[in-house]
Structure 1
Amino acid sequence: IQRLRELATRLGRDPDVSGSAAELSQRVMEWEEEAEAEHLPAVENDSDESIVPPGIGQRSERVLIRALRTLHICAIDPDSNRELDMVMAGNPARISQHDVDELIAAGLIIEL
């Protein structure tokens, strides 16, 4: 519960300590991931779209794929390095390594 309160403060949220131990544990894990994501360096630009700094999302972390269906997924445009929240069917993108096997098995992507 203490960790949940710390994360709530860090993320600017009200600490919701209701629920079972399993629910609290799950909430802590989710909020820790969000807190870690907030600490990735950001590059400022003139547009509303964010650009991934060099070194973030490179080969060891991201895999180049082609979407076989339109995907609502966090991805990186391989040409502009812009963050995407959707990849249209037929388009390439770089996605997190840990998503690749599941999406290939579901027939949603191919690895390039």
Structure 2
Amino acid sequence: MGRLSDNTSSSCLECSFFEDAFFISLMTAFFLSILFSIFSLLKNLYLKMVIEFILLAAVWLFWNYTIFVERESSWSTYLFNEEIHYTISQSLFPVIILGCFSVILLHFKEIKMIMESRN
């Protein structure tokens, strides 16, 4: 969605892409931190990682969707299905790669302890 950074926002004509991205990131980080803290109470590491990955991917795709709608499709005639298709096609690979990396990095010590206990 980085190519949309030069487009004008439909909701705030004076707002820059970086301001929007910063505030969305800040709110998302706060929201996910609370949820991940709640999920830390789960004992099953694999279940916890899957739930966190799905939640992270869903929030990330929603964030990309809102950026696309605000900076591209609101100025044009996109159907809802086209917006979803475009967002998923442009975001799926980065979301999967960075989501996996984030969740593994978040639980690196726990994964390492499990691997060491198996040896």
TM-score of the pair, normalised by structure 1 = 0.29
Of Structure 1 and Structure 2, which has the larger fraction of its residues in strand? 1
TM-score of the pair, normalised by structure 2 = 0.28
- Structure number with the bigger relative contact order (C-alpha 8 A, sep ≥ 6) is 2
